[in-house]
Amino acid sequence: MARQGGKSSGARNGGGGGKAARPAGRQSPAVYRRRRVVLATLLACLLVLLGVGAWGAVGLVRAAGHAAPSRTADDAGPVATPSASAPAPSAGASPTAAATGSAAPSATPSATATPTCDPAKIAVAASTDKTVYAPTENPVLTLKVTNQNSIPCPVNVGTSQMEYLVASGADRIFDSKDCQDGSADLVKTLAPGASETANFPWPRVRSTEGCKAVTIKPRPGQYVLTTSLGSIQSKKAVFELQ
């Protein structure tokens, strides 16, 4: 009986080795060491990431402080406020309304120009009281001035402006200015279409510049009368002396 008890005890304690058996569910010390190293490494990485994030946040705060500094009373110039962009004009809007935001102002009518007298519309005409004169008749030379403007115009019709010139071909027979005894200005306002006339009886004599005496009288034949008022000259009027 004692031999059987010894065999059973040796079978429980031997088991084929000298090491004590580990309880079920527990790992070796090397596994725990590896786990601790891994945990320490993860913790260190987490701390590094947290540190980088904190420095990044500080950097953003500093950048924001430099980008938009607060103004003080010593800063010169107004702060420019960005204006809202204008909405794009619709396809049906006119270019002027889209550009200005309002309709184009209506044009202001220009003032009516005041009419003025045109010197070219002051007409001068020459005529005689007859076309043929007997040997004993003296021609009456007539100067007529007419205002052809549409408004009243002042015209100098004085003897200082009048001239009667009688010629026969290239021969200068008589000029009223050669022997004119004094002259005067006479300004008259002529209504539109109104006329003034001045008559000069010609004694059928010749004249020269400076009013020198001429004994030769005009011969029978055709003569041409031209009258002038200042720089305005008439057309020719033809008459005959017998």
| In a domain? residue 48 | no
pLDDT at 113: 76
| In a domain? residue 219 | yes
| CATH code of the domain in which 149 resides | 2.60.40.2360
Nearest CA to 159 among 174, 146, 143?
143
Instruction: Report d(CA 234, CA 55) in Å as an integer.
Output: 108
| In a domain? residue 46 | no
Q: What is the DSSP string of 84-143?
A: PPPPPPPTTS-HHHHHHSSPPPPPPPPPPPPP---GGGEEEEEEES-SEE-TTPPPEEEE
Q: Is the pLDDT reported for residue 101 higher than 60? A: no
Count of Cβ atoms closer than 10 Å to residue 219 Cβ:
8
- Tell me: the pLDDT tens digits for 178-223? 999 889 999 999 999 999 999 999 999 999 999 998 999 999 999 9
Instruction: Report d(CA 224, CA 235) in Å as an integer.
Output: 10
| In a domain? residue 161 | yes
Instruction: Report d(CA 229, CA 62) in Å as an integer.
Output: 97
Residue where the block lists tokens 């001429």: 214
Q: How many domains does the chain have?
A: 1
Q: Is the pLDDT reported for residue 97 higher than 60? A: no
pTM of the entire predicted model: 0.54
pLDDT at 111: 60
Residue where the block lists tokens 């962009």: 85
Which structural domain, as residue segments, surrounds residue 187? Answer: 119-241
| In a domain? residue 26 | no
Give the rounded distance of the alpha carbon of 171 from its chain centre: 61
Residue 79 vs residue 193, higher pLDDT: 193
pLDDT at 72: 42
Q: Are 156 and 230 in contact, with CB atoms under 8 Å apart?
A: yes
